[in-house]
Chain A
Amino acid sequence: MMVAADPMHQFHISRLIPFEIGGWDLSFTNSSLWMVIGVLFVIGFFAFATSKMDTIPSRLQSLAEIWYGFIDGMVRDVNHDDGKPFVPLVFTLFSFVFVANLFGMFSLPLPGAHTFTPTSHVAVTGALALFTIGVVIVVGLWKNGFKFFKIFVPSGVPGYILWFVMLIEIFSFLSRPISLGMRLFANMLGGHVALKVFAGFIPSLAAGLGGLGMLMGGLLVMPMVVGITALEFLVAFLQAYVFAILTCVYLNDALHPGH
């Protein structure tokens, strides 16, 4: 009899190469492995796709150009010409998140081995979000000095209520890294759990109700699982897109703090 596996098992971190420095556990885990694979894939893909540059692009080259042009266009839309130095940053963030999200959607043709979604852990997405906000703060202070703090002082607010609005602005600034990190991790985690739970209905139904259960599982649940899988691919892209565009929006605040 088949029993649906624990839906959280796919997020289990296992140490591949145990490693410790001064009490800190810095092991190379399956999460690290899939991050490395993602990074190597992006580097390899772009190196390979741009190795033979042609005026009339090959399919791979054109894919790389669309990928790059998408981010370039996004940064240009949001940040106009000031954003040019940040295209590589946004591109790297987008590509990493996108590939990490996407690789978690595939399964391996090996028994016992499965892919891992690094972005389903808040440690990874939180670090990415803090890094992004850190860049925003550094860029803001570097480009504008103390004028950067104008982002907390919206223009056109009467003086007697300004302190209150400033408090609210500080709160919304503080909530940015949390919003950024939480959205990505929650979507990846939630999506994968939902997928696993719904897929687990099929063997449970078959085990519980026999032939009728198999029929129901096949006719009702399986199409839904296929649909959710498609939705998850969309979410994998959308979350990377949202992460990238919010990086642009926040950078825009850093570059032009006066609203």
Chain B
Amino acid sequence: MSDDLNKRIAEAQDKLAAQKRPRNGSDGKGWSTGYRMASDFVAAILVGAVLGWGIDALFGTMPWGLIVCLTLGFSAGVRMIMRTANEQANAPAAENEDENA
């Protein structure tokens, strides 16, 4: 009796999940991805600038620490955006095949 009920609950949930899937991704996920990319990018550059400036101030190597760290920070920012984009692109496939990613 309770097995039967469990089976019916599972079936109903599957049906519900199948209905819901198409509108997945329109409920704030896009917004949150956008916010994430923008602030990750800015934050990485900021970290590069502050770190470079700090190294320069400590060791008196004025432009070079800033130049190197800013470049690294910029690269890190771009890489983070690319990784976020990749995660988003792979997410629906991973959801359907579950643990396959």
Contacts of A64-110 to chain B: CB distance below 8 A:
77, 80
Q: Looking across the interface, which residue of chain A has its beta carbon closest to that of B46?
A: A178
Q: List 11 A-B contacts (CB under 8 A).
A: A168-B79, A171-B51, A171-B72, A171-B73, A171-B75, A174-B51, A175-B46, A175-B80, A179-B39, A179-B42, A186-B39
Contacts of A174-227 to chain B: CB distance below 8 A:
174-176, 178-179, 182-183, 186-187
Residues on B with beta carbons closer than 8 Å to the beta carbon of A234: 31
Chain B contact residues, CB within 8 Å of chain A: 28, 31-32, 35-36, 38-40, 42-44, 46-48, 51, 69, 72-73, 75-77, 79-80, 95, 99
Known: A172-B44, A174-B47, A238-B28. A183 touches B39 (CB 8 A): yes
Residues on B with beta carbons closer than 8 Å to the beta carbon of A179: 36, 39-40, 42-44
Asked whether A238 lies within 8 Å of B75 as measured between CB atoms, the reply is: no
Asked whether A245 lies within 8 Å of B32 as measured between CB atoms, the reply is: yes
Task: Give the docked Cα–Cα distance between A80 and B100 (Å).
Answer: 13
If over half of A's interface residues share one DSSP class (helix, strand or loop), that class is named, otherwise mixed; here it is helix
Asked whether any CB of chain B lies closer than 8 Å to the CB of A242, the reply is yes
Interface residues on A, range: 20 to 34
Task: Give the docked Cα–Cα distance between A172 and B42 (Å).
Answer: 11
Chain A contact residues, CB within 8 Å of chain B: 77, 80, 167-169, 171-172, 174-176, 178-179, 182-183, 186-187, 234, 237-239, 241-242, 245-246
